[in-house]
Amino acid sequence: MVKCVSMSQSSLDDDELFGEAAAEMREDVETHLAKARDALPEGKAVWDVEADNTLGVLNGLKSALAADEVDTHLRDAKKWYTIGERADAFEDASDLQAEIEEIESVLDDLQAVSEHVAELTGTIPELRSKLDDLHADDDE
């Protein structure tokens, strides 16, 4: 009979430990999601860019769109979320999944816009040079 109590106690301890681990995993996911959200640029940062010329605006926008830290925190959140989901550790994780998807969507948009801005940053000086050359020919 002592053995049954011991096994029962061990089982209770395991359940309690699993519950604590699940709570810690959820907290880790929430912490990384909060850090990812905080690392996202403010809307004002990508809208209000000050510069003397187009290239300056594009470079300022490129800097405002940088999201490396967001990507790192989102990856960590997804890692802990996946582990928790596979272990069936979360009672209800729909809120976590929704937030992951929301941040992932914004990050995808940031990266797409950043690629466009980088492309423009590379082509605008070349275009300017061609236009200057063309107009210089007209002046001669």
Residue ranges covered by each domain of the chain: 2-139
Quote the pTM value. 0.80
The confidence score (pLDDT) of residue 28 equals 95
What pLDDT does 12 receive? 61
105, containing H or E segment: helix 94-139
Residue-wise pLDDT for 67-106, tens only, equals 889 999 999 999 999 999 998 888 889 999 999 999 999 9
Those residues of the chain that have pLDDT short of 50 are 1-7
Would you call 105 exposed, middle or buried from its count of C-beta atoms within 10 A (0-12, 13-18, 19+)? exposed
